[in-house]
Amino acid sequence: MGFMFRVRLASFFAGAATASVAGFYLLYKDYMLGQEAISQQVKGVSESLSERIEALSRRISELEKSETAESPTPVERAKHDNFSDLALLHLNPNRCCGAVLSTFRHLKHLRASILAITALSGSFSGEIDM
């Protein structure tokens, strides 16, 4: 009886070892397939990101070249009586550049002015006449 028990016990452990090796092999294959899929996705994202960065770099260099070729023309100073009835001045956003005109203070009906996101510099000289 002792001999049969040892044979059965040895057979059980041999089967358990074989099942463990087969299970680990299947897990390893599954892991490798998942890792390969993630690697391919990351590679695709990396390539598309590199292409987008290169396209943006080319676009930026084109814009920088076009800005140096086109120098902004200064806006002629308008006489303050041309716009004396102006109530709202909205210059947001645009390509205006230069100094804020001092004649803005002569606008009698100006209630609001929005000059954000422009290349204008300076400030209104003194108080605006209301």
What is the Cα–Cα distance from 80 to 107, expressed in whole angstroms?
7
Whole-model pTM: value is: 0.37
Structure tokens at 37: 């899929």
Structure tokens at 14: 């041999």
Question: Do the Cβ atoms of 101 and 125 come closer than 8 Å?
Answer: no
Q: What is the pLDDT of residues 18-66, one digit of tens each?
A: 999 999 999 999 999 999 999 999 998 888 898 999 999 999 988 888 8
Give the H or E element holding residue 128. none
Structure tokens at 31: 């892991």
Q: What is the pLDDT of residues 75-94, one digit of tens each?
A: 444 444 566 677 777 777 76
3-state secondary structure of 4: helix
Name every residue whose Cβ is closer than 8 Å to that of residue 93 and which is 6 or more positions away in sequence. 116, 117, 118
What are 114's strand-pairing partners?
Answer: 90
